Structure 1
Amino acid sequence: MKAKVFDTTVFKRILKYTKPYKWRFNSVIAFAVFLSLFAALRPLILQGTVDTYIKPKDNYGLLLYVTLMGITLLLEVIFQFFFVYWANWLGQDIVKDIRTKLFKHMLSFRIKYFDHLPVGQLVTRSVSDIEQIARIFSQGLFMIASDVMKMIVCLIIMFWMNWQLSLIVVFAMPILVFFTRIFQKKMQIAFEEVRTQIANMNSFVQERVTGMKIVQLFNREDIESEKFREINGKHNKAWIKTILYNSIFFPIADIISSLTLGFIVFYGGIQIINGNSFTTLGQMTAYTMFIGMLFNPLRQIADKFNEMQLGMIAANRVFDILDTQDQIQDTGTVEAPIFRGSIQFKDVHFGYIAEEYVIKGIDLNVKAGETVAIVGATGAGKSTIINLLNRFYEINSGTIYIDDHNIENYTLSSLRKQIAVVLQDVFLFADTIFNNITLNNPDISREQVLAAAKKIGVHKFIMSLPDNYDFDVKERGVMLSSGQRQLIAFLRAYVSNPSILILDEATSSIDTYSEELIQKATETITKGRTSIVIAHRLATIINADKIVVMDKGLIVEQGTHQELVGKEGGYYKNLYDSQFAVEY
């Protein structure tokens, strides 16, 4: 795809975020106007100083003009301060608003979206790309506007002063503009590649740091280091392209500026020497300043335009996510009450990939208050049932009912509020145990947490930790063992007081002591509420009211433990016998 030098659609969209700060936006523009006027005043004052007071040797007049120049410079510095400060302030407030909107938008995505997009890319979009948008205002838009106004004011004054000398400047400027446009196009393509490589690098580093234990366990340090070297090399190559284009453009711009100045000094100097009156020494002195004020901004505009392009590329990537509509359709209008807990799957089909079903027309009935266990081989579809019940994914066909109401009729937030899940792989945030239990829900008090912890037998374990409930578990809960993390997850589920509880292989990878605590916790939190237990270890679900056996997306057997082990040649009996033989 051919890169646009300037994407007006993206730019207009960015400007919409300035509406809440309209007064500040207009003030920055006003500061830019004043700066252009003060900048143009300096050469005029210098011309007057040379022609009117230095040449006639008027000391009093010279002092007056020097004072005037000092006042002009002071005012320019003051306006420059407010211009830079407010432009940066505006940019930071805008990215704050965009970042908040982006994060809120991502929170609404269905899980399938995160299954396919690398986490590192989302981090890049949410942090570095958005920060680059701020530079559109701090280093791009307003700086360019200020420079353009300076150039316009300077050109007007220059033609008013001496149109002949000004023509020399006008003839030179298109040459610089030509090279500037070529430079901008090349830099646009180069910056696209830079942003792509940054996203790739962030994704790679994030995954390897997260999976460092696997890298070291399987002795892959050298392999991963080599992969990173390749990715880093591509990133380095992309940046070197931008350095090359800068190294070519800026010397060319300097040469054009210097040649123009040389022509003016040569032509004007000859006229003064020959006694022609069309120019003065003061005008020549002023013109040397004006040329710098024309060509330097034009040269810098190219650099600032690069910042604009980087910001536009970053904004385009952010807007791609904001424009993504991958949310679960929350069209329900019924606020889910406290469920009795009856669940029914009726001819449900589902596939993570279209037409590749992992759930193949299952029918399942769970009575209110029942504890139902689901067993089967890996990939049988057990965990998928949980995902569908919580509406993390949309079913392809069929219907799921809770308390005889289609779950799609309930609002999504109220539905999930009534269902608690304890996963095998417990995720804890880098925060205190208390905040990981309540998830910062202000409606759950510390007294409630302590009472719940005592009731399910977790309080003693927490009190043995430094700082007790205020113990910081660090990122992903690394300060706790897997069994301890699991206990925190049980307590988290219990204090939310759900109508339906789901335990997804919650006891598959824990020590004996933790298992005893978890067994006690399980008995407590499942009592009086509908519970679905997914387990590999069949010994943990013998007392379930009903056991559902799944294989390849189908329910192949249902019944109590006694009923299923009594079926000779049955799937469950074979599974139980083989597991019993291994364990005993």
Structure 2
Amino acid sequence: MAASTGKAFDFNLFKRLLAYTRAYKWTFYFVAIAAVLLSLLGVMRPYLLQITIDESIVPQDNDQLLFFISLMAGVLVLEVIFQFCFIYFANWLGQEVIRDIRVNLFKHMLQFKMKYFDNSAVGRLVTRAVSDIETIASIFSEGLFMIISDLLKMAVVLAFMFYQSWRLTLLVLVVLPFILYATRVFQKKMKVAFEEVRTQVANLNTFVQERITGMKIVQLFTREQKEYENFKEINDKHRKGWIKTVWYNSIFFPIAEMSTSITIGLIVWYGGLQVMGGSEAVTLGVIVAFVELTQMLFRPLRQIADKFNTLQMGMVAANRVFGILDTQASIADEGTVVVDHLKGEIEFEEVRFSYVGDEEVLKGVSFKAKPGETVAIVGATGAGKSTIINLLNRSYEISSGRILLDGIDVKDMTLKSLRSEIAIVLQDVFLFADTILNNITLNDPKITKETVVAAAREIGVDEFIASLPGGYDYNVKERGVMLSSGQRQLIAFLRAYVSNPSILVLDEATSSVDSYSEQLIQDATDKVTQGRTSIVIAHRLATVKKADKILVMDAGKIVEMGTHKELLKKEDGYYKNLYEVQFMQEEETL
């Protein structure tokens, strides 16, 4: 990719970016035509200035002077009109393109499997989706078309200069190769510098996002000073990246300005000698026109270097964005079976899975849950309990074996229909910065407010929702910080309940709530699990005892299986030992 090759410009990447303009080809063509017209109109001004001096000022013809002044005013008006159209529609095109790219990027990211997000920093992804894509817009607004316009203007200027005086033009061309070489070196140096800037911006975003999200931990463990020092170090690297770009600009632009001044001096010197010598080929008007034409020739060169920097920065950003778009990290959604309502039979057949390499988390897990059964999974941390849930709805792909729902392999089902049949309540509840109602329905138009209110009454959580300012319209803010952990858990449970799932999954859903909230959830669990298959990962005895079947896991394997009473009868059994260590104390306090 362009970011790693060190090339000043990657045409394949550029062609790919231009493909997004096809939907707006007429605007693209209009901007290109405006660029051509601007180059022609730009040359007309010094030409009109030349003939104004030679044909009206020198011979002192007032009528001619007024005529040429009027012509210059008309050209200026046209130039202003086309400049406005050029700038407006170039920026409009850029915004349309980045809108489409951003939509494609977000849609692509929505399909990524959880493993991708496990290994990717949130701050970097936010940088790609927001600031990097904004940078791409500058390719069209300040880069591509501006460079085309400047190149056309330079070509027209050179042609006109040769037409007017090839001797004076050669003086200009003596200095031109030096400017071109300096511009080329400048472009390459700025390419590397901008790549470093974008990298440091991503690092800065990642650091700030993580520390703000985890501010509670930072303060509880008095890490303020250490994180402050870390931030200063990262921020300093970001500053050094930008200083490097400033350094290159500080060198290049004075050199370019000095070269322009030297060239103008040569023109005035040589042209003045020609005029004083009585030459008819070089007039006072030609010298004045060449001074302006030289600036028109060299100024775009300086601007092209600057705009090429903008173009390169946009290309670096495009390279990063396309890197995500090219990432194939989606769950293969090749199933054709659309399930409408499952009976709820679950079967794992010799399922093996690993998050990293060959480190297996599940080692040949097999079990079967009949429709309507409640299956509890117990075991030590890291035994593989939550992994079973992650595989059930295909958040991760299994390494081998099969997972069947109602006898159908989950890989044969469409992802949408599969996941719509399974509702999950996690221990770590995530709520969006939105109203309680929208957090429950997730903006599903099929779920009405009346349905939500009725479900809340059944569960018994409507009272606490009604007590909040605005009730169901209460904004819980980012991650639901305005609610207690127990209240967030109730909202998550209600979210699962109203989706009317065929299979309900509770991943330690009551492990971090108070007794009152737990009782509400237990009551609601009894209602929602009626007629539904439920998988419960729990540390609380009440849930485990009520289960129709208990799976006891250890080191990725099911070591015991049975009901609560059956497992307690096993002498020196894993579940019995777990019960005596953990559950018996809890039972004594009930």
TM-score range, shorter chain: over 0.9
1:456 and 1:525 in contact (8 A); partners too: no
Question: 1:358 Cα shift?
Answer: 0.7
Aligned to 1:538: 541
Deviations 1:525-568 (A, max 9, x none): 11110000000122332111111111111111111112222323
Alpha-carbon separation, structure 2, partners of 1:424 and 1:490:
11
The alignment status of 1:473 with 2:476, answered yes or no, reads: yes
Deviation readout 1:148-189 (Å, 9 max, x if unpaired): 111111111111111111111122111100000000111111
Distance 1:148 1:343 in 2: 67
Per the alignment, residue 342 of structure 1 pairs with 345
* Aligned pairs (5 A) from 1:201-280: 201-280=204-283
Residue in 2 that maps onto 1:124: 127
* Equivalent residues of 2:331, 2:396 under 8 A apart: yes
Equivalent pair of 1:346/1:400 in contact (CA under 8 Å): yes
Tell me how far 1:580 sits from its aligned partner.
Answer: 3.9
The one-letter code matched in structure 2 to 1:408 is K
Q: More displaced, 499-508 or 558-567?
A: 558-567
The offset of 1:353, in angstroms, is: 1.3
Q: Within the alignment, does 1:396 sit opposite 2:399 as a pair?
A: yes
1:367 offset after TM fit, Å?
Answer: 0.6
Residue 377 of structure 1: aligned partner:
380
CA distance in 2, matches of 1:347, 1:474: 43
Q: How far, CA to CA, are the matches of 1:353 and 1:257 in structure 2?
A: 61
Which residue is equivalent to 1:42?
A: 45
Work out the CA distance in 2 between the residues paired with 1:475 and 1:569. 48
1:387 to 390, 404, 415: 390
What is the count of residue pairs matched by the alignment? 584
The answer to whether the aligner puts 1:564 opposite 2:567 as a matched pair is yes
Q: Deviations over 1:400-444 (max 9, x none)?
A: 111111111111111011000000011000001111111011111
Distance 1:579 1:114 in 2: 34
Question: More displaced, 24-33 or 456-465?
Answer: 456-465
Q: Deviations over 1:319-355 (max 9, x none)?
A: 1110111111111111113111111111111111122
Which stretch has the larger CA shift, 101-110 or 275-284?
275-284
Task: With the length of structure 1 as denominator, give the TM-score of the two structures.
Answer: 0.99
- Partner Cα distance (1:4, 1:223) in 2: 39
Alpha-carbon distance between aligned partners in 1 of 2:135 and 2:334, rounded to the nearest angstrom: 36
Counterpart in 2 of 1:4? 7
Checking the alignment, whether the CA contact within 8 Å between 1:372 and 1:548 is kept in structure 2 is: yes
Query: Residue 177 of structure 1 corresponds to which residue in structure 2?
Result: 180
Which moves more between the two structures, 301-310 or 574-583? 574-583
Q: What per-residue deviation string (whole Å, max 9, x for no partner) do you get for residues 8-50 of structure 1?
A: 0100000000000000000001111111111101001111111
Q: 2:525 aligns with which of 522, 525, 529?
A: 522
Q: Corresponding residue for 2:73?
A: 70
Q: Deviations over 1:498-532 (max 9, x none)?
A: 00000000000011221121111111111110000
From 109, 113, 117, give the equivalent of 1:114: 117
TM-score by structure 2 length? 0.98
CA contact (8 A) 1:268 1:284 kept: yes
The partner residue of 1:548 within 546, 551, 554 is: 551
Q: Provide the C-alpha distance between the structure 2 equivalents of 1:252 and 1:538, rounded to a whole number of angstroms.
A: 79
Deviations 1:353-386 (A, max 9, x none): 1221110111111011001110111000000000
The yes-or-no answer on 1:419 pairing with 2:422 is: yes
Equivalent residue letter for 2:328: Q
Q: Which residue of 2 aligns with 1:21?
A: 24
Coordinate RMSD, CA, aligned: 1.0
1:84-119 residue CA offsets vs partner (Å, 9 max, x unmatched):
000000000000000000000000010000000101
Q: After the TM superposition, list the runs of 4 or more consecutive aligned residues in structure 1 that deviate by more than 6 angstroms.
A: none
For the Cα contact (< 8 Å) 2:540–2:583, is it kept in 1? no
* 1:181-196 correspondence to structure 2 within 5 Å: 181-196=184-199
Tell me how far apart the structure 2 counterparts of residues 80 and 140 of structure 1 sit (CA, whole Å): 15
Between the aligned partners of 1:294 and 1:69, the Cα distance in structure 2 is 20
C-alpha separation in 2, matches of 1:153 and 1:82: 21
How high is the sequence identity, in percent, across the aligned residues?
Answer: 63
Task: Give the distance between the partners of 1:580 and 1:277, measured in 2 at CA.
Answer: 109
Matches within 5 A, 1:293-308: 293-308=296-311
Aligned residue identity for 2:492: A
Distance 2:294 2:277 in 1: 24
Whole-angstrom CA distance in 1 between matches of 2:280 and 2:583: 112
